[in-house]
Structure 1
Amino acid sequence: MPVERRPAPPEPHPRLIRRWQRHLANERLEERVYRGLAERKSGEEREILLRLVEAEHRHQQHWIDLLGEHAGRRRFPDLGTLILSALGSLFGSVFILALAQQSETSSPYDEDWYATDAMAADEKIHAEVVRALAARSRARLSGNFRAAVFGANDGLVSNLALVLGVGGAGLPPATILLTGISGLLAGALSMGAGEYVSVRSQRELLDASTPNPETHSVIGALDIDQNELALVYRARGMTAGEAEEAAANAIDAAGDPGWSSRAPSALQAPEHEELGTGLGAAASSFCFFASGAVIPIVPYIFGMTGIAAIVTATVLVGLALLVTGGITGVLSGRAPLPRALRQLAIGYGAAAVTFVLGLAFGSVAA
């Protein structure tokens, strides 16, 4: 149900004035973010973003009219809007749009009695516009970037758990370092080998499912009354009548010049997403995993020992998990902070289990 909107009081309370000034500051900052994004775009996306800039300017005017003489006082925007603006100067448009989507979705205008119904409706529509633009950016985002984030996260968690497990057992620092390096190499090689096999298997499966490009050259020699071309169409889902008609049309057209470029769909190779090479995918997975797995052993590389090394490794991995979790949240179109904290909790949970087991085995061995 629409919120009942109140007219502005003749003498606004100072608290109310501050709230309106903050709304105005948010709108001004969001306008700058959208304008900055528009400068990076061209064509239709640029036009869409500039229309959002116009809408934010309309909203500003509403608060300026309400504030009157108080409109000149500048206030800080909300923390979330400030973060959005700061990240806008550091990261690509996909991150900015994902955060802008969160900002528009959580607009306070639904509950603010001094915002108009049109403004509240605008914010909901803006959220959907930004959601669609963010979806475009995510679709263009390289799959290798996603693989980098997830591969690095695997290396972080698995090698931290390994290092804390043997560290909890009381093994010497040199042994812990050797174990960490072994875990890095074993995990990275396993990831690389698995990715190689996966890509090669996908390619072989696609090759086995792709029609032979030479088959269309024999269609003109088929007997239109006794031919098996119709069976190809039936095997691909057509009814018997549809398949017979399609086969007859294909045979009739087979004599036309340039017919091979218009081969029947049943004989054409389907389009598939580019998979890349097996060796390229293997090398990428190896490097992504290793980049995460090296962080837990950094303290031991620099000669740290005991609890200091364990605490340092845990803190370094925790910071990295927050980053990878936040990036994962943004790429998924979700708020980054909850995903970052979830990633941290999962990683620390796994490491805590192995550390406790290491303490237990170390005490038993002693």
Structure 2
Amino acid sequence: MHHGEYKVPGGKLVVVDLEVTGGALRGVRVAGDFFLEPDEALDAINGALEGAPADTDARGLAARIDAALPAGAVLFGFSSEAVGVAVRRAVADAAEWTDFDWRIIHEGPQPPALHMALDEVLTHEVAAGRRPPTLRVWEWDRPAVIIGSFQSLRNEVDEQGAERHGVTVVRRISGGGAMFVEPGNTITYSLCVPQSLVQGLTFAESYAYLDDWVLAALGDMGIKAWYKPLNDIATDAGKVAGAAQKRVISGAGAVLHHVTMSYDIDAAKMVEVLRIGREKVSDKGIASAEKRVDPLRRQTGLPRAEVIERMIASFRARYGGADDVVSDAELARAQELAAGKFSSAEWLGRVP
């Protein structure tokens, strides 16, 4: 018997139990806290999945469900594709959040290069099975710009502006866009998780899945937020966060999912440090960089430390989590990488 679960971002939980016999799905039973009308639509969903080839992707499974649903059926809080995702996770025997003994790290301010190195080291430790899945909340010791792994340094950063404002520029191991951070104005965290947690999810689905807990945490603070493909967290007032990922294929595999949230922002300084081109601004349909991000300080009215405290409390309430620190061995390896790879001109300028 295979069991799979999928929490729809901002929606309901879909649970699937099934067997795989002769390469086909058998004994499929779909359940969850969703809403569905009419009642017989559930039997139609189960019947549509019965006998489906076990290697059918989520879209293919959704198509079978859509074709079988009675006319006028209403799926509220989930979708046929969400059922397909839950089936894929069941077939893959994907792990769930509560299967793990989570660790939570929130240490004092550290330099940008060390944060880049810690992400790499801790993710590899999780892949090797030497560290449990970990939520790490960062603190910054100086202002910084973090560019994506594949971005052009000269196209993204105004070096004179960065030097004038004392901003350190580093390159991370994940893709995505440049982030401008200042101590006290930014909330940054990393999730270092086993590959098994996102098994059966597409790359895009894994972003939404790993962001879901923070959407709930923001909701507890009165902010209705949602995942905006591919890698943003947004509210009615604007973008509040951006995410990026890196996959590690060594050992059992692991995923680094890190998020930078805007608590406050000095937009005037940001546009002097980052080269925000007219085309990029135009594509987003906005007139200025100030309108691209709406900080959490204004939306919550809470001190930054309390926002972080509430986020961690929300995570613990959902999945547990024991306080932890970076081990001496992990720190030594990270310091070596920070002083070498992440402080080198070669790495920073690898895409000039």
Classify the TM-score, shorter chain: under 0.3
Structure having the higher Rg: 1
| TM-score, scaled to structure 2 | 0.24
- Which structure: greater helix fraction? 1
- Which structure: greater strand fraction? 2
The structure, 1 or 2, with the larger RCO (C-alpha pairs under 8 Å, 6+ apart) is 1
| TM-score, scaled to structure 1 | 0.24
